Amino acid sequence: MALIIDGKKIAAEIKNELMSEVQALKVKNITPKLALLIVGSDPASQIYVKSKEKLCNEIGMASLVLHKEEAITENEILKIIRAWNDAPDIHGILVQLPLPKHINENKILLNINPSKDVDGFHPENIGRLVTGLPTYIPCTPLGIYELLKRYEIDLKGKHCVVVGRSNIVGKPIANLLVQKVPNANAIVTICHTAAHSMSHYTKQADIIIAAVGVPELIRGDDVKDGVVVIDVGINRISAPETEKGYKIVGDVAYNEVLQKASAITPVPGGVGPMTIAMLLTNTIRAAKNEVYL
């Protein structure tokens, strides 16, 4: 029977740990503060920002949410970012993506002070991750790392196949797990849509991290017995038999792969809750001037 890797449970444990850290910082007159910028009216982005703000409040952190209309100019956003860079009471800065098409996202992210880049997307922080220097790690990969660590899944010398090559998940998790550090030190293969046969690679994997955004791409026949599966995918598919008319599935056919896996994350309830927990972890570390690796 496969072990179900419960992201909700681990995220709740981390939340309690962070509450204690925040209280200890407040004794030193430091209140970790996260500044969030959201532009436009994308419903998913609004939900994400509200959940981040809510969790900040729950653990005693401060938050600043600035909601701007879609017509805002690039220069106006840069002015906001630079002011936040200079604000000593703001420890973490997050710009909710996507931004409107007339805004150059890369230019905005490049202007965030790397020491306040708690999303871990600034090229300086990515470069430090690649070279094994202390840095802020992107939140979803960091959440995956924490799940594997807390469930005591040994990666040393194991073959980890990462399906997906995004800058948000695929590339950073591959760079993190290949590092010669505790709870990593894996043999990593990055697999993507150019592969002549995805299953050729996934069948070799001791650990699969699926982050490609294709509903139930990886089936039971694509994995070997005993595999550990971390499913990052969040995909909405039609389900007329349900009240909402749709359901959320991952990049892995859960019921099929469950029969062969030694451990697996559900969708939802696996990696998702860890991402916000890691965002707050990074912000608290920024307030303490601490980094990973």
In which residue are the tokens 């981040």 written? 52
Q: Which of 116, 117, 119, 222 is catalytic?
A: 119
Buried b (16+ CB within 10 A) or exposed e, 253-282: bbebbbebbebbbbbebbbbbbbbbbbbbb
96 is catalytic: yes
In which residue are the tokens 């969708």 written? 267
CA angle (152 as vertex; 150, 157 as ends), nearest 5: 125
Closest CA to 285 of 133, 136, 88: 136
Reading the block at residue 291, the tokens are 């980094």
Buried b (16+ CB within 10 A) or exposed e, 136-151: bbbbbbbbbbbbbeee
- Tell me the three state secondary structure of residue 1: coil
Reading the block at residue 40, the tokens are 């436009």
Q: Which of 52, 206, 231, 251 is catalytic?
A: 52
CA angle (252 as vertex; 246, 256 as ends), nearest 5: 95
Which amino acid, residue 124?
E
Handedness of CA 49, 54, 59, 64 (dihedral sign): positive
Reading the block at residue 268, the tokens are 């939802």
Q: Going by DSSP bridges, is the β-strand pair 235-238/246-249 parallel, antiparallel, or unpaired?
A: antiparallel
> What stretches of 28-169 show up as alpha helix (H) in DSSP?
43-59, 74-86, 105-110, 123-131, 139-150
Reading the block at residue 115, the tokens are 């020491």
E strands present in 90-206: 92-95, 159-163, 187-191
Active site residues: 52, 96, 119
